[in-house]
Amino acid sequence: MRGLAFQDYMEKNYCFCCGSWNERGLRIKSFWDKQNPEEAVCEWKPEPWHGAGSGQARYILNGGIMLGLMDGHSVCTALADAYRREGREIGSCPKIWYVTAGWERGRFLKPTSLVLPVTLRARVKEIDRKQTIVECTLFSEGVSKTTPVDFIAFRADHFGQE
């Protein structure tokens, strides 16, 4: 048993990619890798409606979904890392929030099957006072399906608090 995922600590998170409160979202679950604690890992199983189109493409994972998975996992990795650096449990007060600022580099290397699970691996590359850069790669069948993508996350501590 792995325990709670990063997302399980985040109350009222309705994000389409990483929000555990969004019943129609992707609802990813991210954890620190026990073998490599500087890396966060997420395993996710696509559904038929996550396909790329018609014909043979209906068996291929949609590129927008792939980018969304990587984005959600990267933002949650930045957030979990910030709490860890402060020696606090994710979601404890005062709250820390991150939002996506953008992404750099990266491209799809080959089609990704809609039938098999995907694994996301992310690690923090750079931190400053206002932003964190996280490198993320998507794998399927043990093979990298993307080049590493740098996601830039802005720290927005008061964003979304009620």
The dihedral of CA 13, 147, 82, 126: what is its sign? negative
- The pLDDT score that the predictor gives to residue 87 is 97
- The tens digit of pLDDT for each residue in 113-150 reads 999 999 999 999 999 888 999 999 999 999 999 999 99
- The pLDDT score that the predictor gives to residue 157 is 66
- The pLDDT score that the predictor gives to residue 85 is 95
List CB contacts of 140: < 8 A, sequence separation 6 or more: 61, 112, 113, 116, 117, 118, 119
Indicate if the pLDDT at residue 39 is higher than 60: yes
Mean pLDDT of 83-105: 91
Indicate if the pLDDT at residue 160 is higher than 60: no
- The tens digit of pLDDT for each residue in 111-123 reads 999 999 999 999 9
List CB contacts of 17: < 8 A, sequence separation 6 or more: 25, 26, 28, 68, 69, 71, 72, 73
- Which pTM value belongs to this model? 0.92
pLDDT averaged over the chain? 91
Residue 61 tokens read as 């994972």
Whole-number percent of the chain with pLDDT over 70: 95
Q: Comparing 157 with 63, which gets the higher pLDDT?
A: 63
Mean pLDDT of 4-11: 93
| Rounded Cα–Cα distance for residues 40 and 32 (Å) | 4
CA gyration radius for the chain? 15
What domains are defined for the chain? 6-155 (3.10.129.10)
